[in-house]
Amino acid sequence: MSVSTNPNTQEVIVHDIKYYRSSILQNIFTGLLIIGTILLFASAYTMFLRRDWILIGIYFIAYIGLLAITFIKKLPYVFKASVLLILFYLLAVSGLLESGLSGDGRIFLLSFIILAAFLFGFRVGIITGVIGLLTLAVFGWGMSTGFIPVPPVEILANSSYGMDWFTGSITFALIATIFISALSSALTGLSSSLTSLNQTTAQLSEERKNLEAAIEDRTLTISKKANQLITANQITEELAVLRNPETIFNATVNLIRSRLNYYHASVFVVDEDKEFAVIKASTGEAGQQLLARKHRLHFGEGVVGYAVQKGEVRIASNVLLDSVHYKNPLLPDTRSEVAIPLIYRNEIIGALDVQSVEENAFDEEGLETLKFIANGLATTIYNLQEISKLNQHITELESKNTGLVTAHWDSFLSKKKRTLSLSVKDNQMESLDSPDEDITEVMKHKNRLVKNAAENDDKFSVLAMPIKIRDEVIGVIDVHVDLPYVPENLLQLSDAINARLSIALENARLVEELEDRTVQEKLIAQITNKVRATTEIDHILKTAAEELGKSLGASEVLIQLDPSIQS
């Protein structure tokens, strides 16, 4: 189970911790000042009798610092807390120097460690704990070896001295006051925080119930939309591997019906005269009957006719009340229908028709899914049709001229005004000015060339392979490897890559030529429309010359009618 944290609540809790730490620190300094005053004079008297001037100086310096820190409110928290820890550490060192294990040094040292952990956290507490242990180790080693003077016996056995009992009691009261104040402030802050937390928890619990209900509704909506998008993507992926238009049509309508749970689906294609939308695929027994009788709809007839005529999506949310809907007796259970035009490059090539047994079945999410499928279907069909036309045209030409592939590539590269000769060496790509002898030999003999370095005393082994399309060489792959022999796996890998490269290059060329052809036809249509816009001969000639000049980038265009006609 995961618990979310409100950022605002977390910020308030952090502020309270700092506040209570500062409050506890101030109380500690106030208590230290009161008890320290008594302790200072009592300890100073004892140390004066012993003439221990160094310790007297240390106590007075500490007391003056305590006064300043207690009454200067603007001092930073870190500075105050650090001074307190330093003060307790100095008192611990002083106690160990004065009385060894018999005095208050260890109590002050323990207080130093506990306060460090409370004021700065666990990590600082660990560090000060290590410092405390090292301090005890140093004093233990020093006094046991004589490096640090051992206090006199009368100081070590001081239970009979009333003043020592008094100072010890003051020290005990001081430390007890510090820890009682700290614990009291911490418990007060904890109680307040728990009360605030309980109130916040109650509010969050109520909000959580409301959010859970809203999230559940939203989750169902998102889940439905996600499933539809996943299904649409799966459908388009499955269609992408198909190459036959009829197979694509049938697969589309069947997948829509089975995956999206619609009553009926059909695909219509616009005829060449652009008068009818002719059915090409349809689901179920009704669909087979519609296909058998070559069902078709006039432009503007039914939602399908409307979609192909206007190029817009047409929805009949309730077919019983929709005047445009075509009532098909083979589909009596239809209650709502949508027709989505299949459009590619502003050309309407057909429509996708989907019907449901429920009224208002096509919400925004479902409609977007069907549009996605329709767009993919239109693109696939258009490309297949165009590629089919080109391939058919190429096949006819190749039957007359076996060298047509080479001619196509020569023409293609010439029109593009580029030579595709690239070299990759040390992950750097550069153009080749001229082919090397290996490429020239392969182009000449049209066979693979293998040169092993161990056999020819060369630095590199060479593998050069012709790139073939229908047994005609359009290029060469030349590979140099720093090995004594060309590996067998490289030969197999290169053959596989070469085969796929040939197909990819030819397809890329066909697509580029198709795009160039489309642009050219569009340009011709634009010029023709502008010329037809006028009936005056002079204006027609002027318009034709201007448009040809703009389109071809020509600096001068001349149009001359036959002089004999003019005379």
Side chain identity at residue 549, one-letter code: G
What tokens does 372 get?
């996605």
- Residue 270 contacts residue 350 (beta carbons within 8 Å): yes
pLDDT value of position 231 = 74
Identity of the amino acid at 322: D
Cα–Cα–Cα angle for 297, 300, 306, rounded to 5 degrees: 100
Task: Look at residue 8 in the predicted model and tell me its pLDDT.
Answer: 46
Mapped onto helix, strand or coil, the DSSP state of residue 448 is coil
Distance CA 357, CA 242 (A): 30
Question: What local confidence, expressed as pLDDT, does residue 13 receive?
Answer: 45
Look up residue 309 and give its two tokens: 């005529």
Radius of gyration of the chain (CA): 47
Class of residue 520 by CB neighbours under 10 A (exposed 0-12, middle 13-18, buried 19+) = exposed
As a dihedral over the C-alpha atoms of residue 518, residue 523, residue 524, residue 530, rounded to 10 degrees, the angle is 150
CA distance 316 to 321: 8
**Spatial contact of 40 and 60, defined as CB atoms under 8 Å apart:** yes
Amino acid at 229: L
Which of 342, 344, 333, 349 lies closest to 370 in space, CA to CA? Answer: 342
Helix (H) or strand (E) holding 321: none
Give the pLDDT confidence score for residue 159 in this predicted structure.
44
Q: What is the crossing angle of helices 77-99 and 53-71, to 10°? A: 160
**What are the φ/ψ torsions at residue 351 (nearest 5 degrees)?**
-155, 150
* Pairwise CA distance, residues 120 & 122, whole Å: 7
Task: Give the per-residue pLDDT at 11.
Answer: 44
d(CA 181, CA 185): 6
Buried-exposed string 430-453: b where 16+ CB fall within 10 A, e elsewhere: eeeeeeeebbeebeeeeebbeebb
Q: Would you write out the chain's pLDDT as a tens digit for each of its 567 residues?
A: 444 444 444 444 444 567 767 877 777 778 777 777 777 776 777 677 777 777 778 778 877 877 888 888 888 888 888 888 887 888 788 878 877 776 677 787 888 888 888 788 778 888 888 888 888 888 888 888 878 877 765 555 454 454 554 555 555 556 655 666 666 566 566 667 677 777 888 888 888 888 888 888 788 777 767 777 777 777 777 766 776 778 888 988 998 898 888 999 999 999 988 999 999 999 999 999 999 999 999 999 999 999 999 999 999 999 999 989 988 999 999 999 999 999 988 889 999 999 999 999 998 888 988 998 898 888 887 887 788 788 888 777 666 555 656 666 667 766 666 666 666 666 666 666 666 777 788 777 778 888 887 777 777 888 888 887 766 777 888 888 888 888 888 788 877 887 787 788 778 878 887 887 887 787 777 777 777 777 777 777 777 777 777 766 666 767 767 666 554
Residue 320: what are its φ and ψ, rounded to 5°? Answer: -70, -25
Sheet holding 336-344, edge to edge: 296-298, 276-282, 264-270, 347-356, 336-344, 314-316
Distances (CA, A) of 563 to 13, 97, 503, 542, 559: 100, 129, 53, 18, 12
Q: How far is the CA of 227 from the CAs of 8, 221, 222, 356, 386, in angstroms?
A: 37, 10, 8, 18, 33
- Give me the amino acid identity at 179: F
In the chain, the N- to C-terminal Cα span, in Å, equals 99
- Quick one: pLDDT at residue 196? 75
Residue 328: in which H helix or E strand, if any?
A: none
Domains and CATH numbers, the chain: 7-203 (no CATH), 243-390 (3.30.450.40), 411-508 (3.30.450.40), 534-566 (no CATH)
What is the Cα–Cα distance from 461 to 225, expressed in whole angstroms?
Answer: 57
- As a whole number of angstroms, the distance between CA 259 and CA 415 comes to 47
Sort strands 461-469 and 264-270 into parallel, antiparallel or unpaired: unpaired
DSSP state letters, 474-522 = EEEEEEEESSSS--HHHHHHHHHHHHHHHHHHHHHHHHHHHHHHHHHHH
